[in-house]
Amino acid sequence: MFTSLFLRGPALAALFALLGACSPVDAPPLDQQLYVWQRQWTAAHDEALAHTRDDFSTLRVLALQAFPGDGWRRARVEGALLKRDGRPLIAVIRLDGQLPALDSQDITAHIQQLLADWQALGLNVTGVEIDHDAGNARLAGYGAFLQGLRASLPPRLKLSITALPAWLASPDLPALLHSVDSSVLQVHAVSRPELGLFDPAQAKTWAAGWSRVTDKPFYLALPAYGVGLLTSGSGAPLVESEVPLERPGQRRELMADPVQLAALAAQLRQAPPAHLAGLIWFRLPLAGDRRAWSLATLRAVARGDALHSPLQLHLSERAGLYDIRLGNDGNLDSPLPERLELAVGECEAVDALAGYAVQRNPGQLVFTRLQQGRLPAGASRAIGWARCTKIDQGASHVRL
């Protein structure tokens, strides 16, 4: 039996309203921001800032640090570059987690002086972020400190904090989050280094948990960098990041995987947890920074572009002398290939450059990688030279 149902007037309008409430609503696009974490600024910052202006709305700039027993240090920020850049700035204040206590009066005075100095430079300061790795047992006291700091800041400046997933286990977390305008959940480098730098599945779980605790906007801090792990006598590895450690020993390199991060970012854009306002990438890459993604890769991941890293041999010849280069013509940084095989004629002389060794076989040159490394997107690298009657590029191979 079939039943016909006819709705008219207010009843029909109510049905359409109900259907509209049940249909999916497009979420606003996730904001994307950048951490600028260098303590010493160089000429490379100018180019890096210029090439990120279209893709990242806001800069969170390491500004001031407090160390136990060593006092305060300011990052040597180039105010002229930031003023010319013009993007909103959030000053990040790093309070070392080993500080025995938080001296509210002293910290507030240093922050207010910093803000006055930055505003005198004409910088577009919109907020303050406190980065403090407090243990769960100290979260209640940390929340009280933040309430006092919030009261001391001008209402137009937003107060945010860097937060740790471990805080999800604390009953003091809701009150802590209530004392700030927003939070930045760090989901990288929060486990023991030997377990890895980042786990996308764990990051999604933490983000979902965070969305259930807070009713204010929060951001995810995502990695666009790598570290080296150096063995030490104590058993726990030493972590080497931007600044090399003057220690001998074998280093294990960990690098955040752009493909993994691109997939996670796509998932978060399609189905963001409640209150997720955006993604903040750590950190702004500078030319020559071997432990950060290239600008090309960072921008491609942030945009959601398809990632690819086609490696090509580039040969230049003059009077029988060939310069041999390897090029990455894509937008994804690539590991250096383990082996390159070149089909050649008679060779009088040949040599490999840093990072490779070369072996001469009949009709073939074989370049073998000696140490791991990366070829940034859009870059090329000389791997050797050869004086030969010919090199057949079409018959040569790059093997990862």
Lowest mean pLDDT segment, chosen from 24-28, 47-51, 380-384 = 24-28
Percent of the chain with pLDDT over 70: 88
What is the rounded average pLDDT for all residues in the chain? 90
pLDDT at position 229, please? 77
0.85 exceeded by the pTM? Answer: yes
Average pLDDT over residues 124-147: 97
C-alpha to C-alpha distance for 355 and 324, rounded to whole angstroms: 14
- Which of 99, 79, 101 has its CA nearest to residue 91? 79
Hey, how many other C-beta atoms are within 10 angstroms of the C-beta on 56?
Answer: 23
Average pLDDT over residues 42-51: 96
Lowest mean pLDDT segment, chosen from 46-60, 97-111, 223-237, 328-342 = 223-237
The domains of the chain are located at 31-303, 311-399
C-alpha to C-alpha distance for 128 and 125, rounded to whole angstroms: 8
- Cβ partners under 8 Å of residue 224, min gap 6: 256, 258, 261, 281, 282, 283, 285, 292, 293, 297, 298, 301
Looking at domain 31-303, does it have CATH number 3.20.20.80? yes
- Cβ partners under 8 Å of residue 266, min gap 6: 304
Average pLDDT over residues 9-38: 57
CATH entry, 311-399, from 2.60.40, 1.10.1660, 3.30.1050, 2.30.29: 2.60.40
Position 28 confidence tier, pLDDT thresholds 50, 70, 90? low
pLDDT at position 345, please? 96
Could you tell me where the DSSP H helices lie in the chain?
A: 10-22, 44-52, 79-85, 104-120, 139-152, 173-178, 200-213, 258-270, 295-303
